[in-house]
A = this chain, B = another copy of it.
């Protein structure tokens, strides 16, 4: 019925061509796996049979079971798959991960899913030798599932507080402190904070009290870093507006609408470069000069920050290094890794300047 391929034809297996060539399946296997140990005459006969029967070569599905190793590492996220290609942070990270994989010849499997049952199944059935998990928003379920596979595992951006999970990340408190101090030293006293999500599925204004209850430790730590440093400069942090965003334009703009409706800050602490970049757009549209009227400092150090107008001052994470280490941890799997805290770097560009006051 099918026009091109012959009906219900089961694909030819190694055993089929062995029979056709009149050799044992062991020998047939050798023809493909170690041609050198098979007598030439036999080898050619088997190859001819394979050719004649349209054999596609040893099926990796079969080989896999015996070999044990897939030779691919899985990269998982709670976001949709396109996150890997859209998000600037993810892209830099993935570029680094993929370079490390190329160097060792390992492949990469991208794992994700829209809904969460799907996710569970995808993680459980992923054919990989280990997992690198992007858990930007404290997707502890993801970490949990990945760990249950009992494969080499490492979480990126240590959102979990569980000391037992292997993770690579940066000192968020220190990084945030760097940003806050930078602005405070420039004379700024009126601050506003644009945060990443604290709890799932909402955004808007947040109170100080809620900060400490923040679900995601990365968010919480950065907030702590910001405020710890501001307090040190004698700034009344209870007056600092905090707006939660979901790292997209809409929520950032809404946050800024809210913030600038009150007393105008001269300095904005943005918890990601993406937030900062969206903020820059908002400020430009509202004819607020950066850094003339308002200074802003991002977090992450994505390449886009260097090309924005104005170029973004930010707390750069060693993204490429994190990726490299993650791959190394998976491939070596010496069990030595538990958590690694990498240093951050304040990159001062043109989005921050002296306070106008």
Determine whether the beta carbon of B72 is less than 8 Å from that of A109: yes
Complex CA gap A86/B82 in Å reads: 14
Query: What is the CA–CA distance of A70 and B74 in the complex, to the nearest angstrom?
Result: 14
A26 at interface by CB-CB < 8 Å: no
- Shortest A62–chain B CB gap in Å is 6
Give A91-110 interface residues, CB cut-off 8 Å to B. 91-92, 94-96, 98-99, 101-103, 105, 107-110
Contact B105 A108 (CB under 8 A): no
**Known contacts A60-B125, A64-B127; A82 and B99 CB within 8 A of each other:** yes
Minimum CB distance partner of A114 in chain B = B102
A80 at the interface (CB under 8 A from B): yes
Of B82, B84, B103, B113, the residue contacting A85 (CB under 8 A) is B84
Give the complex CA separation of A317 and B356 in angstroms: 47
Once the chains bind, are A91 and B81 in contact (CB under 8 Å)? Answer: no
Among A3-11, A178-186, A216-224, A271-279, the stretch that binds chain B is A3-11
CB pair A3–B98 under 8 Å, yes or no, is no
Task: Name which residue of chain B comes closest to A108, CB basis.
Answer: B110
Give Cα A54–Cα B149 distance, bound, in whole angstroms: 10
Known: A126-B60, A127-B72, A149-B57. A81 touches B101 (CB 8 A): yes
User: Chain B residues near A102 (CB, 8 Å)?
Assistant: 80-82, 112-114
Evaluate contact between A335 and B109: CB separation under 8 angstroms.
no
Q: Output the nearest chain B residue to A110 by Cβ-Cβ distance.
A: B108
In this assembly, does A111 line the interface, its C-beta being within 8 Å of a C-beta of chain B? yes
Distance (whole angstroms) from the CB of A24 to the closest CB of chain B: 21
Q: Who on chain B is nearest to A121 by CB? A: B105
Cα distance, A110 to B62, chains bound together (Å): 20
| Residues of the B chain whose Cβ atoms lie less than 8 Å from the Cβ of A71 | 125
Tell me which residues across on chain B come within 8 A of A11, comparing CB atoms.
150
Binary contact track A101-137/B, C-beta < 8 Å → 1, others 0: 1110101111111100010011011110000000000
Which chain B residues border A202 with CB–CB below 8 Å?
none
Chain A stretch 169-197: residues in CB contact (< 8 A) with chain B: none
**Inside 8 A of A149's CB, which chain B residues have their CB?**
56-57
Known: A107-B110, A110-B110. 5 other contacts (CB 8 A): A65-B65, A71-B125, A80-B98, A82-B99, A108-B110
How many residues from A make CB contacts under 8 Å with B? 56
Q: What is the minimal beta-carbon distance from A142 to any residue of chain B, in angstroms?
A: 15
**Pick from B54, B124, B127: contact of A150, CB under 8 Å:** B54
Closest beta carbon of chain B to A152's beta carbon, Å: 11
Q: A107-B109, A126-B107 are in contact. Are A65 and B56 (CB under 8 A)?
A: no
A63 CB–B CB distance under 8 Å: yes
Report the separation of the CA atoms of residues A122 and B109 in the bound assembly, to the nearest whole angstrom. 13
Query: Measured between C-beta atoms, what is the minimum distance from A219 to chain B in Å?
Result: 26
Q: Which residues of chain B are near A64, meaning CB under 8 Å?
A: 61, 64-65, 127
A2 an interface residue at 8 Å Cβ cutoff? Answer: yes
Say whether B122 contacts A107, CB under 8 Å.
yes
Bound-state CA distance A262–B166 (Å) is 60
Say whether A44 faces chain B, with CB atoms less than 8 Å apart: no
Residue of B nearest to A149 (CB): B56
- Interface flag for A148 (CB, 8 Å): yes
- B5 close to A335 (CB less than 8 A): yes
CB pair A4 B113 closer than 8 Å: no
Please report the C-alpha to C-alpha distance between residue A62 and residue B171 in the assembled complex, in whole angstroms: 41
